[in-house]
Amino acid sequence: MRIIQNNDNYMENQNIKAVIYDGDGMVISSETYYLALLREFGSRAESLNDFFANEFQQCLIGDGDLKEEIKPYLQKLGWKKGEEAFIEHWFESESKSDADIIDSIKKIKLKGIKCYLASNQEKYRTDYVMKNMGLADVFDKIFFSSRVGYLKPQREFFEYIERELAAEELDKHDALFWDDRGKNVELANDYGFNAELYRNFEVYVQIMKKYKLL
């Protein structure tokens, strides 16, 4: 499985013109909301497992409305404040961005490198991430599954990004794709991106220096 480019000469010879960042697990560093639910509701949190495996997957590609789909599950969970309050609590609990990553992005952009965010997000969290978390001001463009209509790492998701890059006269081979999931990295590499696995900030900096981006 091709995850990390181990050839330093290869890295140094790449003329990277765009960096594509992962959302949750990299730019967004909050713990998953499910862990908070487990602490508060114990085993009742498992009542949401079917939701996340089924209806939520449709919400992620824009084919379902989170506020409507979550309603039947909240009663099983024991949440009594309504779906609006639940979603607000959910998004707020996952609203911490990684200050070090954000700072590095600002430095990279000063070099004229385009920076994009690519993530699986449903439409309400898409708006929350862009407006409430201010990430629309950090990135040149955001690629979210609810707008693309496909999930990362489906080929159609990568094809969408490739078309967006081409509109700015950029090639996928000149783009560096970051993700914290090995499968996503492997498939991005197979599609033609330079793709790297995000482990932690220190390793990220080391790799970015080898690409001469930091």
Tell me how far apart the alpha carbons of residues 22 and 4 are, in angstroms, rounded to a whole number: 16
What is the per-residue burial (b if ≥16 Cβ within 10 Å, else e) of 194-204?
Answer: bbbbbeeeeeb
Closest CA to 87 of 75, 76, 74: 74
Rounded average pLDDT over 169-197: 96
Tell me how far apart the alpha carbons of residues 159 and 138 are, in angstroms, rounded to a whole number: 23
Question: pLDDT at position 11, please?
Answer: 62
Sign of torsion, CA 194 197 198 202? Answer: negative
Q: pLDDT band at residue 109, thresholds of 50, 70 and 90?
A: very high
Is the pLDDT score of 4 beyond 50?
no
Each domain of the chain, given as residue ranges in start order, spans 8-29+97-210, 33-93
The model's pTM is: 0.92
Lowest mean pLDDT among 7-16, 38-47, 88-97: 7-16
Question: pLDDT at position 2, please?
Answer: 43
Question: pLDDT at position 168, please?
Answer: 95
Tell me how far apart the alpha carbons of residues 51 and 54 are, in angstroms, rounded to a whole number: 5
Tell me how far the alpha carbon of residue 178 is from its chain's centroid: 9
What CATH fold (topology level) applies to the domain 8-29+97-210?
Rossmann fold (3.40.50)
Question: pLDDT at position 8, please?
Answer: 59
Task: Using the structure block, give the residue that is written with the tokens 């696995």.
Answer: 197
pLDDT per position as a tens digit, 41-60: 999 999 999 999 999 999 99
Query: How much is the mean pLDDT over the chain?
Result: 93
To 10 degrees, the CA torsion angle through 125, 129, 130, 136?
-150
Is the pLDDT score of 201 beyond 60?
yes
Q: What DSSP letter does each residue of 105-145 carry, written as one string? A: HHHHHHTT-EEEEEE---HHHHHIIIIIS-GGGTSSEEEEH
Q: What DSSP letter does each residue of 17-58 carry, written as one string? A: -EEEEETBTTTB-PPPHHHHHHHHHGGGGGGGHHHHHTHHHH
Nearest-10 crossing angle of helices 33-41, 83-93 = 120
When computed from its CA atoms, the radius of gyration of the chain, rounded to whole angstroms, is: 18
pLDDT per position as a tens digit, 120-130: 999 999 999 99
Sign of torsion, CA 139 181 157 177? Answer: positive
